[in-house]
Amino acid sequence: MATLTRVRIVIWLLLGTLMIQQLASYSKILTLVSSGESQDVEWRVLAVAPGVFLALMIAPRRARDLTLSWLSGAVLVAAISGVTIGVVSGNLLRYVAADGFRFAVPWIAFLVAAMALLSLPQEQRQAECRRALLFVLGVSVFDAVYTIVVGAAFPGHRISTDLHLFGIGWALLAATNSRASRALILGLCLAAVVFSGKRGNLVALGGGLALTCAVGLMRPGFFRRIANGALPVVMLSTFAVASALWFSDFAVVRVARDELSSRHFDLAQNLMDIAVGGAEDDSYEGRMRELRNVTAHLSEYPEYVLLGAGFGAVTPMREDSGVPCLIPGMMHHVHIGWIAYLLRNGLLGIGLYFSFFWVVATRLLRNSQQTPYCYGSLFLLSASLVLSLKSNILLEGIDLSLVAAFGLAATPILGDRWAAADWSRTTLPASRA
C-alpha cells in the first residue's frame, strides 16, 4: 500500500474516532442535564480505544524527527514505569488499567498522527494537515451549535464542551477564509462559550487570547494580521451575537437570555468577591486540597518523586476533596491534569506534560508565517494550557492531541530534505519513463 494512502487511512480513522468521542460526550452531557444521571466510564473506553489502537497498528513509521523520537521514548518510559510501579505497589488493578488507558490514548493519538504525516513530503503533508484541520473546524462548529442548543434548552446547567475554542482561534487568525464565514464561525463559537455556563471556558478564552498574543509578539506581522483581518471579524460577529441574544423574540432565546444574564451576573459577583473580598471559591479550594494531598503523599514517600506512585495510585484523604474512592479514606481522582501526572509519573510525568506544550507551540510558531491556519491549533493549545490549571488535559481525550499533531506536522523539519530526497528517488523511474 502506498504511503500516502496509508497515511490518509490513519488520519481519517483518527478523525472518525474524534467524532465518536464527541458524540459519546454529547450523549453523556444530554443524559446528565436531562435526567441527572451519568454514563459509565466504559462508554468512554469504547468510544476512543478501537480507532486509536487500530491506527497505531497500520500507521507508517518512516518519519525522521528527533524531537518526536525523544518524546516517544519519554512516553514509553512513563507508561512502563506507571504500570510496573502500580502493580508492584499493589494498587487496585481496576485503577491501574483505567489510568494506563487514560494516559496512553492521547499520547498514542498524538504520536501516531504526527509520525504518520511526517512520513510524507512537505507539500503533501501540509495539504493533508490543512484538510484534517478543516474537518476539525467543522466538528468545532458542530460543538458550538450543540452547546448553544443544549444550553438554551436546559438553562442553568453547565455544558462541558470546549472544542469550540478551536473555532475561535481559527476565525480570529486564519487568513484562508472570507471575513463573512470567519465572522459566522466566531459568532457561533463565542456564543457557545456564553451558553456553556462554564467559567472555565471564559477563563480559557481570555487566557488563550493573552498567551497567543504574547507568543505572537515573537512573530513579525502578527498584530498587523489582527488589525487587518481579525478586528473586522470580531466587530461583525459581536454585533451579530448581540443582536441575536438581545433582540430576538423567540421564546427559547428570551428564557435563555434571562437565565444567562442571571448566571453571568452571579459569576461576575463571585469573581469579585474572591478577588476583592477574599471569599473562598469551593471549586478552586477542592482542587487545592487535591494538590496538598498529593504533595503530602510524595513528601512522605520520596521514592515516588522521580517516577511517581504508578498508575492506580491513591493518597490518604488528609483533606476531603469531595471525590469518592473505592478505598474509604483515600483519594484517587485528581482534577488538575499536571497534578495527576505528578502523582502517577512523578517529575518524569511533569516534564513530559509540559514538554508537549513547549514542543508543539515552538513548532507552530516556526510555521505560522507559511501556514496561518496553524494559529487555530496554537490558540487551542494556549486555551488548554490555561484549562489545565483546573481540569484534566492530556488524559483520555484525543481532540487536543489531534489538533496539536496536525499543526505540528505541517511545520518544516530538518528531515524534510531527506524525505524530499526519498520521494525524488521513488518517483525518478516514472519521470524517466
Instruction: Flag the least confident range among 10-14, 304-308, 354-358, 393-397.
Output: 393-397
Band of the pLDDT at 108, cuts 50, 70, 90? very high
CB-CB neighbours of 330 under 10 Å:
14
Give pLDDT tens digits for 34-73.
Answer: 776 665 656 666 778 888 988 888 887 666 677 888 899 9
Non-local CB neighbours of 408 within 8 Å, separated by 6+ positions: 114, 359, 360, 363, 364, 377
H or E, element range at 374: helix 374-387
Q: Measured at the alpha carbon of residue 32, what is the angle toward residues 27 and 34, in degrees to the nearest 5?
A: 95
* Three-class SS of 254-310: HHHHHHHHHHHHHHHHHHHHHHCCCCCCHHHHHHHHHHHHHHHHHHHCHHHCCCCCC
As beta bridge partners, residue 331 has 315
Band of the pLDDT at 261, cuts 50, 70, 90? low
Q: Quote the CA–CA distance of 364 and 375 in Å, as a whole number.
A: 8
Are 418 and 118 in contact, with CB atoms under 8 Å apart?
Answer: no
DSSP-derived 3-state class of residue 95: helix
Compute the average pLDDT of residues 225-235.
58
Cell output for 239 = 454585533
Band of the pLDDT at 335, cuts 50, 70, 90? confident
DSSP-derived 3-state class of residue 409: helix
20, 99, 105 from 79: Cα distances, Å: 25, 10, 11
Band of the pLDDT at 166, cuts 50, 70, 90? very high
DSSP-derived 3-state class of residue 123: helix
Of the candidates 410, 419, 416, the one whose C-alpha atom is nearest the C-alpha of residue 360 is 410
Q: Quote the CA–CA distance of 192 and 330 in Å, as a whole number.
A: 37
